[in-house]
Structure 1
Amino acid sequence: MARRQTWMVVAGGLVVLLGALWLVLVWLIPSDDDLAAQAAGELQARLGVPVRLGALHWRLLPVPAIVMEDLATDQPQPITVKKLTAYPELAALLQRRVVLDRVELDGAVVPQLSLRALDGALRGAPAEAAEAAQAGATPLARFEFRDLTWLSRYGVAVVYDGEIDFDPGWRPRLAVLRRPGVTPATDLSLTRQGQEDRWAIRSHVGGGTADGEVQLQSRTDGRLALNGQLQPRGVDVASAATAFNRKPVIAGKASGNTVLSAQAETLVGLAQSLHTKTVFTMGASTLLRVDLDKAVRSLGEDHAGQTPLDTVSGQLDTQNTPRGMVMQFTGIKARSGALSASGQARLANRHIEAEFAVDLVDGIIGVPLVLSGPVDRVAVSVPRGAVAGAVLGTAVLPGIGTAIGARLGATLGRIFNSGPARQSGTATPAAPGTAP
């Protein structure tokens, strides 16, 4: 009986203590209106653009939390947040300070074009992060996000889930980014190496992997520098493109080595200036939507179909800019039992310009093939007289080899071109591998 009475006293004491704590929290916590006004003002000051809040309120059970709903920046393409829940540290809250332990984002849309307006407002972020790092502070322990939609400048939407655990100074200790509902699994993880600004990268895409390392440096002039390397292995290129809602150009598995670098004053600037260089090789593959053999024989009038290839190799350079990504393919070499091709291509603002020299097995060598126009309406052309010139190239130098024959054939094809003259001021594209 005495033991039962003791437990009743303890239980009653806990109830009284929890009730007192509840009253203290209610007294200490600001009202929803005050909190909403403070949050909107702070966000506008930080981002540099007006911010609208649909609702903001405290939730005390099961644990104290700040819930923000229907947030939107005042921009032509607004950044929107459906729901953001922040969990403050209880000890700091009792001292009337808000220190966030965890933040959960559920539903957001981030248009690429809208980030340009925030870049200037975020220029002080590296300095603030450095100060926080020196003070040993962790401003946020964990950030989790679901249904975050990245909207490209051309309206391509890609949804991500993920989480980030932070060290002091906003340094990610562990970060995971994944494409939900995509098969095969498409994800990327960053793991910090000790206390250095160096992270191991593990990623899965297109049924293959792309592992490596990235390093971040703060330079004496206040700029940030990012450098790293990746090793793509067995990546199905078509599957990888589809995983990010892009139309594939070629199907087949690629491997190679990638070097990446960027310099800027902010993290947004780093993303906008990122440059990658990938030297790659592919085995059996298929060029989609273009039949090279048919295009050459019809002088570009008919190119519908596909081109099976035995091997493909080359180099891909990508350069992010505030106006979008520029992709440059150089040293491209493709071979199959029916043909071989070499050349280069440039893709920017969804517009392609490419030149290839195509050799067919039945003696048509060095035919210049030109691809140009919007990516959804690519025009394929072969200069008139090019086939005759290419064949003459093989007759002039019999047995010397494809490379020399192709170069001479393409040049003679240009001389014998019987097509209409170009308008004044329009440059004639150089054939691949020749001087302008």
Structure 2
Amino acid sequence: MKRGHKWLAALGVVVLLAGAAWVAALRYLPSDEELAQRASAELETALGVKVRVGALHWRLFPSPAVVMEDAATDQPQPILIKKLTAYPDLFALLQRRIKIDRADLDGATVPQLSLRGLGKGGEAKESSGEELPLARFVFRDVTWITRRGIPAVYEGDVDFDPGWRPRRAELRRPGAKDPTQLTLARNGQDDRWAVRIQVGGGTAHGDVQLDTRAGGRLHLEGKLQPKDIEVESMMSAFNRRSPIGGRVSGDTTLTANGDTVGELAQSLHTQTLFSMGKSTLLRFDLDKAVRTAGKEHDGQTPLESITGRLDTQNTPQGMVVTYTGVKAASGSLTASGEAKIANRRIEGEFAVDLVDGIVGVPLTVSGPLDDVKFSVPSGAIAGAVVGTAVLPGVGTAIGARIGATLGKIFSPGPAAPASAPSRAARPAPPAKTR
């Protein structure tokens, strides 16, 4: 037999063997109907809510896969999956084991509030030994909707090690003005990852570590170093409006505790010591607000520097943001104080010093973020002026404080909500002499 004929014969045998293998495999593989029933039952058991699956079928070409389309949870704000394609390990499947080489998610909507309605069974379970239920996960066009209804589209991919440990992961915000992405890289087999973040034209690199403590409770801790991040660009990348423009740098520590990955996310706490050079309060004229007792504040405030500490605390009800030790300076004023933001409301108090002799004037900030109120006690500025006339320098501070106190006594405002910063924690206005 000629060599060409031998190759053709060999190829024919391979094709026949492959075809026979596929016929045998298809006899043992579940039908589309069985797959749909099994998927709905498994998802409902795992998530604790009913799941509607629009279509589920096998696809043999260009490679064997299971395709799920138009799936949705039965919730007021459903989690929607447009298309999920899973490429199973066929040999594992023939042994009645589920092992996915790769899963591709193309299009999904995930409302944050809907995750609270899912049972703990939805959390990824630890795999035993060297078993790897899913090796690679790729996602595109996934819309995350915050509890306040703000959408943001993400894409990325994750390569898993056994135990659902990411070996490498990347998360991106397509369409952002500046490159916006997070990359994780595992350090060998340790539960430690190098973190690389690009956002707002700057970086926030560092590392995180995961420990398993008594009773299987998880503890996450890490450090990041924000560097030259343009705040306005960073906020706009996540469809939020920034109150300030400028570049920020600092040091961040983060911690979290929980029995599951979801609980870790809900308990995440960060502390950042930050500093900014030349910057601008974009929609607030601090000088005007003080001089008009808070009645007018439209405009901008150029700042030479601003420093302070920013704390964020995730809770089941949302994030609580606290600013303490804030100090800002410009050519015309200095200010110091603190503020707290929770449930989209702000409560804060600052002491403002102006260079023309008005010292320690208290400025109160309060109300919902889309309708913030600014107020200065009506007697504060008048008291400062009198103090300057009687005793220049220190008399200005005394007069401002007396005027502020009298203004509060004779024109009391509504009781401060529980979330307002405590009076004991407020910084004392700086004393100055002229």
1:426 CA displacement: 5.5
State the match for 2:366 in structure 1: 372
- Paired letter, 1:255: S
Distance 2:230 2:399 in 1: 35
Aligned partner (choices 190, 208, 223) of residue 196 of structure 1: 190
Q: Residue 98 of structure 2 contacts residue 133 of structure 2 at CA under 8 Å; is this kept in 1?
A: no
State the match for 1:109 in structure 2: 109
Q: Write the mapping of 1:81-230 to structure 2, written as runs, cut at 5 A.
A: 81-118=81-118, 120-122=120-122, 125=124, 128-129=125-126, 132-133=127-128, 135-230=129-224
- Paired letter, 2:214: T
Q: Residue 262 of structure 1 contacts residue 270 of structure 1 at CA under 8 Å; is this kept in 2?
A: yes
Aligned partner (choices 312, 320, 329) of residue 335 of structure 1: 329
Q: Residue 351 of structure 2 contacts residue 362 of structure 2 at CA under 8 Å; is this kept in 1?
A: yes
* Greater CA drift, 52-61 or 390-399: 390-399
State the match for 1:75 in structure 2: 75
Q: Residue 361 of structure 2 contacts residue 404 of structure 2 at CA under 8 Å; is this kept in 1?
A: no
- Paired letter, 1:370: T
State the match for 1:64 in structure 2: 64
State the match for 1:266 in structure 2: 260
Distance 1:146 1:319 in 2: 29
Give the TM-score of the pair, scaled to structure 1: 0.92
1:341 CA displacement: 0.7
Deviations 1:382-418 (A, max 9, x none): 1101112334555677556xxx965x45531223317
Q: 1:102 to 1:396 in 2, by over 3 A?
A: farther
Distance 1:300 1:9 in 2: 91
State the match for 2:22 in structure 1: 22
Q: Number of residues paired by the alignment?
A: 425
1:27 CA displacement: 1.4
2:7 is equivalent to residue 3 of structure 1: no
Q: Residue 193 of structure 2 contacts residue 209 of structure 2 at CA under 8 Å; is this kept in 1?
A: yes
Q: Residue 384 of structure 1 contacts residue 419 of structure 1 at CA under 8 Å; is this kept in 2?
A: no
State the match for 2:37 in structure 1: 37
Identity of aligned residues (%): 57
1:90 CA displacement: 2.7
Q: Residue 260 of structure 1 contacts residue 277 of structure 1 at CA under 8 Å; is this kept in 2?
A: yes
- Paired letter, 2:403: G
Q: 1:395 to 1:201 in 2, by over 3 A?
A: farther
**Which sections of structure 1, spanning at least 5 residues, go unmatched?**
none
Distance 1:94 1:122 in 2: 25
2:231 is equivalent to residue 248 of structure 1: no
- Paired letter, 1:289: R
1:325 CA displacement: 0.4
CA RMSD of aligned residues (A): 2.2
Aligned partner (choices 404, 422, 425) of residue 414 of structure 1: 404
Distance 2:204 2:359 in 1: 37
- Paired letter, 1:317: D
- Paired letter, 2:44: Q
Distance 1:194 1:95 in 2: 31
Q: Residue 303 of structure 2 contacts residue 329 of structure 2 at CA under 8 Å; is this kept in 1?
A: yes
Distance 2:348 2:298 in 1: 17
- Paired letter, 1:331: G
Deviations 1:237-260 (A, max 9, x none): 111000000110100000000010
1:37 CA displacement: 0.4
Look up the SS of the partner of 1:42 in the other structure.
Answer: helix
Q: Residue 185 of structure 2 contacts residue 195 of structure 2 at CA under 8 Å; is this kept in 1?
A: yes
* Greater CA drift, 377-386 or 417-426: 417-426
Q: 1:268 to 1:294 in 2, by over 3 A?
A: same
Look up the SS of the partner of 2:362 in the other structure.
Answer: strand
Deviations 1:64-120 (A, max 9, x none): 100001111111111111110000013223434331110011111111111112253
Distance 1:17 1:186 in 2: 49
Look up the SS of the partner of 1:58 in the other structure.
Answer: strand
Distance 1:39 1:201 in 2: 35
- Paired letter, 2:265: A
Distance 1:242 1:100 in 2: 37
- Paired letter, 1:236: E
1:322 CA displacement: 0.6
Distance 2:273 2:200 in 1: 18
Distance 1:52 1:251 in 2: 46
Q: Residue 393 of structure 1 contacts residue 412 of structure 1 at CA under 8 Å; is this kept in 2?
A: no
State the match for 1:49 in structure 2: 49
State the match for 1:321 in structure 2: 315
Give the TM-score of the pair, scaled to structure 2: 0.93
Distance 1:393 1:258 in 2: 43
